[in-house]
Structures are given as C-alpha cells and as structure tokens.
Structure 1
C-alpha cells in the first residue's frame, strides 16, 4: 500500500507540474530555470516545440544518469522524468495552444510558479525529483565537491537571463521574478506539508492524557517529573509531537479532563524518528 500511495503521489504531482508548465510557462515564454526553461529558449531557435525539446533533453540526461550513476540512479526519478516528458508532448496534441490562456501575464506567472512548485514540493517530500537538471546535480554530487544548490541556482539564473535577448526585457523580468518566487514557494509548501504540533503539557495527572495519546491517537509521548517554581508542587511535563488534526483532538481532550493544565504548543516541520521521517 505504501508503494502504491507513492506511485499515485508521483503520478499526480508530475501531471500537476506538466499542466503548469504547458499551459502557463510555455505560451508566455517564461524561462526561469530547469530543462523546461531551456526548452522555452531552444523552442524559438530550432524547429521543435518546447514539449519535444523537453522530451529530447530529458532522455539524453537519463542516458547520462544511467551511465554515470548506475544502480544508484533512482527509479522514482526515471519514472517522473519519462512521465513528465511524455505528458508535455501529449498535451501539445490533446490541447494545442496558440498563445497565452489570458491577457494577464502576472496572473499567468503566478500559476506558472505555483503549480510546478507545488508538484515539485510533493516530489521532494517523498524523496523523488522531477529529473532534468536534478540529474546533473546527482552526477556533480558524486564526482565533485561543488556546492550543488548554488550551482543549480546559478544555472537557473543564466537560463532566465538568456530570455532577455530572445524575448525582450518584459519576459526576461518576469522570468527572473518567477525564479526568485519559485524557491520560496517550494520551501513553503514542503514546510506546510510536514507541519506538526509540538506539545509541552504541564499537568498534575499524566496518565489519562498519555493513554489518550497512545490508544486514541496512536502516537507516543515522554513524561518528565518537575516542580512548580511558584507553587512548589510536584508536576509532570508531557512531551509529544502530533499531526495538526491530532493536535486539535488532544487540546480538546486536555481541556475536558484537566482544565488547569498548562499547554505550550509550537509549530515544527523537521521531525525525525519513528512515525515521522527516518
């Protein structure tokens, strides 16, 4: 079931990326990085559509990936890369576009950034990538000490700047703006997906609360013995991390059984351990 869920997420997120790129990025000539950014530029220089150029580049990069990385080349990346290329190519025949969907370039830029960024965030969250320049990054990571993040950003910046002489200053500025927004959106979506609630519960009787956490929410908790600085009474501190929906249930339960309990609840998105990330 876990593999099936991953396969569904891979497929849906890849199709979201393909739709965002084809409908909003290609017609407006937005070239903010990646293979699709290169395809936008080359699509104006060679007798091929951006979808066909994307397919050709991704297939070449897959060959390089297998050649340099061998078995360490992830099957998820292969699947996503092939599906992405095939989907873009298929969309050109299923839903041919002669120009932008609307006459509002800022609105189109918003969707050109939001849809692919959302899809990529889901991929990154399950340990996959959209292929393309990520394959180059994998090869560089294995054979060099280059700062991969900086190298990818610089390559995306070069691709965005290349739009200026080909498409003009307006499209070039939109491409640079899209590049800057894309990174922020991906980080924000990943953080939102992984967002959990960290509880510090100071109480007199931890047993019913821990029983609720373990048996009803199917999570675990730690209990620390403490003493109140003002009251000098013996207290207990319960430490636990829950998903957002579970956090609401626990907060309501504590308010019912021990209204005097002191709750400190904070947001966190980096939880490593059993039941969360390994």
Structure 2
C-alpha cells in the first residue's frame, strides 16, 4: 500500500477527489452505453465497441468483455503508462466494467436516432473527460496507439483513429450501414465533448496585431481588457520597414471586445486570429503539469 502511495504522490484529499472523478466518469459512460447505445443498436469505437458487438452477437455482458480485453491490453502495454496513470486506469477498468454490467437505468429510444446519438455522445464524452481529469484513462485502443507510436513512429492520434475506424467498420456488419453512420456522428460528438472536458477551460484565441497605432491599441488592451501583451519584432518585406507585432492570448468573450477596440483605434490594422488548443501558465490555468519530455506515455 505504501508503495502505491509513493507512485501516485498525492495527498489523501487529492486521491479521494481522483477516485470520485474516475468513478463518476465511469458511471456516466456506463449509462451512455446501457441507456442509449445498446437500446438503439449503435456501435462504438475502442474496446467498448468490441464489447458492444460481442453483446449483440453472443449476449455476453459488455462489462465482462470490456474487462477481459482491457486487462489483456494493460498486461501487454503497462510499461507505456506512467505509474500513477496505470493505477487509476486499473481502478477505472474495474469501476467501468462493473457499472456496465450492473447499472441499468431506463432506456432512451427516440423516433429520431440522432437525438439518441447526440445524448450518448455527450454522456460518453463527459464521462471520459471526467476520467481524464481524475488522472485515469479508459485504456483500450489508447494503449495500442502508444505501442504503434513507440514501435513504428505512427502518430498517436493516427493510431487511435486507425483502431477506432477498424472497430467501427467491423461493427457495420452487425449494426448495419445506417447505424454505422450514426455511430460516426456519435463518436464525433464524444471526441469534441471529451476535448472540451479535458482542455476546454484553457482553450483560447491568439491574436497577431500589426498597426501604426500599436501603442494606443496595447494600452487599451491592458487597461480595458486586462490582458498582457508580447511585442514581437518583425520586418515587412513589401514595405522594407521594421514592424512591432502585438501578440495576445484571449478568451472568446475578450476577443469580441478587442476586435471592437481595434476597429475604433485603427480601422486599418492588420489582425490575424487563430485557435489555441491549450494555454498553460500564469493567468490561464490552475494546474501546470510537468512535461517529462521522454518517450510518449499516457
């Protein structure tokens, strides 16, 4: 037990919080599968997708198949998981598999299958996002993708996409073409909700501002928007003049205010706006994880 605590390096309060998050996420995922996915004869990606197809064919409980397949994958790929992640992933495996077998709320079947798919996608994405917030993972195809990356150099995202695509494609022979398309829509929703749950609070927009009124714009942004600004040195090849470029990270609400501000101060300013997947640092996040910069781990 002491060795486990030395691996996770967490206070009892943080440990309790993580266990709660992983348990809650597993519950939401199980509800999505049992109340929305299976009653509507949808498929899914990952090991859960395999478990669902096995259930359709043999009536073996999804949690049982999910546990067996994931246990095999963890046994093979445990070395690719950081020790703390491994411990919470094993707990997640037990919790999710048990809930998939035992949690059976009233089913939801709609005349419009897309409504069921949207609800399932939101619930699964939220559940998986909460699990990630609790330092766990659902294992499964993520482990396969990590092994493909470390062994063959295949990008992690490409490996996950490949595994999920093969599983969903295989399930099409059981659930039919129409439900396969709906399953793809459901997975798209799941992925976006997962991204928002895992990273959404730190998503921002970046702005590059080139203006002859840069000082006035910078002053307005600092005083009225309360955002810091970085000045980048640049050279205009067309004008053959040195330029100062303002670089600022903002949220979506601040973006609209800054656009109005720039239009008022300098209507001729050149501005580019880009999506920023995640921002880590003072003023943006409450937690700054350490990037070990070693081999790819989960």
Find the aligned partners of 1:124 and 1:86 in 2 and give their Cα distance. 14
Give yes or no for the alignment of 1:132 onto 2:140. yes
Where does residue 268 of structure 1 map in the other structure?
Answer: 275
TM-score, with structure 2 as normaliser: 0.63
Change (3 A) 1:154 1:180: farther
Give yes or no for the alignment of 1:37 onto 2:45. no
Q: Is the 8 A contact 1:125 1:190 kept in 2?
A: no
Which SS does the other structure have where 2:70 is aligned?
A: helix
Find the aligned partners of 2:248 and 2:104 in 1 and give their Cα distance. 50
Aligned residues: 266
Q: Is the 8 A contact 2:141 2:160 kept in 1?
A: yes
1:189-204 to structure 2, matched below 5 A, reads 190=195, 193=200, 194-204=203-213
Find the aligned partners of 2:235 and 2:161 in 1 and give their Cα distance. 49
1:218-240 CA distance string (max 9 Å, x none): 5332155889x99xxx9864232
CA-atom RMSD, angstroms? 4.7
More deviation in 142-151 or 183-192? 183-192
Q: 1:255 Cα shift?
A: 6.8
Give yes or no for the alignment of 1:51 onto 2:63. yes
Where does residue 254 of structure 2 map in the other structure?
Answer: 246
Give yes or no for the alignment of 1:178 onto 2:183. yes
Q: Is the 8 A contact 2:70 2:93 kept in 1?
A: no
1:197-225 CA distance string (max 9 Å, x none): 41415243616835853997353321558
Find the aligned partners of 1:213 and 1:135 in 2 and give their Cα distance. 45
Give yes or no for the alignment of 1:106 onto 2:114. yes
Where does residue 20 of structure 1 map in the other structure?
Answer: 32
Unaligned runs of 5+ in 2: 1-9, 292-298
Change (3 A) 1:200 1:36: same
Change (3 A) 1:188 1:196: farther
More deviation in 114-123 or 39-48? 114-123
